[in-house]
Amino acid sequence: MQLANRLSKIKPSPTVAVTMRAAELRASGVDVIGLGAGEPDFATPDVILDTAHQALNDGKTKYAPPAGIIELRQAIINKFQRENQLTFDISNITVGSGVKQLLYNAFLVTLNQGDEVIVPAPYWVSYVDQVALCDGAPVVVSCERSEGFKLTPEKLRAAITTKTKWLVLNSPCNPTGAVYSREELTALAVVLRDFPQIQILSDDIYEHIRFTDAPFVTFANVAPDLKDRILTMNGVSKTYVMTGFRLGYAAGNKTLIKAMNMINSQTTTSACTISQWAAVAALAEDYDFLQQHRKIFKHRRDLLLERINGIDGITCDTPHGAFYIYPECTELMGRKTPQGKILQSDEDFAHYLLEQANVAVVHGEAFGLSPYFRISYAIAENALQEACVRIKKAVENLS
């Protein structure tokens, strides 16, 4: 079978690959603890399930418009107004089968061969592959631990060329949990005002998973004058435990949104109609479960940090959002496993943890900054505790 050349530009999602490998081992009887998955372990709240059932019962089972049902687009407008103090018109809104699909639509309709997209690293794995798939050139900018894993104005300016088309921002960030402050975003906006050709993509999918009292700030809040250049993306997967519903939304420039809708019309037609109705319920109000989930995540984060920082050779700062930590494992490089292998990369370490400690984590190289690894704490507390015991023991077995 001769596959298309463009396939050579991308690789399968490493986070999905780790989750699949852990599932495979589990199926073969190995007691693997998966710390690789990017989805909350809670049950989807009843209010959402009930609405989905109701949609089925009401026969809302037909195609939807490519931009999304009008009720959902209105709910999205209300959400942006209520939670983010952002005002949008119906023509500024598009709906897709997850943020993942909408990102792809955005890159597909804007990138020409060689157009550059600045992606601060560590980054969520799909940004760079999607850019490459759309003939663009990802420009990865390393944001060090000493910088809180965040892009500085100086690094942004240095990365810009005449070919720069997009800057991707993701706060709270997967994989680091870093959250940009109003001041930090404002400083980036100062640079971006000098380059009118650059659009800003703000992936806010972890908006509601934050652990400080500081209000959430998205890029459109700090640079209202750049509104036409900002594409704000969000989705129901993480906040409302709706990963399998596959539902995301974006707000931005009408011309861009129209083009993205055209891609929907020629690819998926629309996001799943039942999921759209369920999302209308999800976005309707500030439910109590959001607070409860945050409390549980914060408790797990603190427990995890304490345990992980108690392991010789691994250190991690406190992240303020999402449900990941991104510990550094530089000191473990060069150590030898009981099997005689010298650890030369975070991938070696993640492989060692999976095969010898039966704990699945994702190596930092997959996110563009090494040597680190990502732990997802979207997993029950007892499993998380057991995983920490196993990691500690595995590290102690290194020489």
- Residues binding ligand PLP (CB under 6 A): 38, 98-100, 124, 170, 174, 203, 205, 235, 237, 243, 248
223, 229, 225, 212: which is closest to 183 by C-alpha?
A: 223
Q: Which is nearer to ligand PLP, 98 or 177 (CB)?
A: 98
Q: Which residue, 260 or 395, is less far from ligand PLP as judged by CB?
A: 260
Strand residues in 53-206 grouped as ranges (E) = 93-96, 116-121, 137-142, 164-170, 199-203
Smallest gap, in angstroms, from Cβ of residue 247 to ligand PLP? 7
CA separation for the pair 116, 140 (Å, rounded): 10
Q: How many CB atoms lie within 10 A of CB 153?
A: 15
CB of 164 to ligand PLP, least distance (A): 21
The minimum distance between CB 312 and ligand PLP, in angstroms, equals: 30
Q: Return the closest-CA partner of residue 362 out of 348, 349, 350.
A: 350
At closest approach, how far in Å is the CB of 253 from ligand PLP? 20
- The dihedral through the CA atoms of 62, 67, 71, 72 has a sign that is positive
Residue 184 CB neighbours (<10 A): 19
> For the chain, give me the number of helices (H) and strands (E)?
13, 12
CA contacts within 13 A on the Cβ side of 166: 32
Is the CB of 203 or the CB of 347 nearer to ligand PLP? 203
Assess contact for 162 and 115: CB atoms under 8 A.
no
Nearest distance from residue 285's CB to ligand PLP, in Å? 20
What is the smallest separation between the CB atom of 323 and ligand PLP, expressed in angstroms?
10
Q: Which is nearer to ligand PLP, 104 or 352 (CB)?
A: 104
Q: Which is nearer to ligand PLP, 171 or 358 (CB)?
A: 171
Q: Read off the DSSP letter of residue 210.
A: B
Residue 252 vs 337, nearer CB to ligand PLP: 252
The residue whose Cβ lies closest to ligand PLP is 98
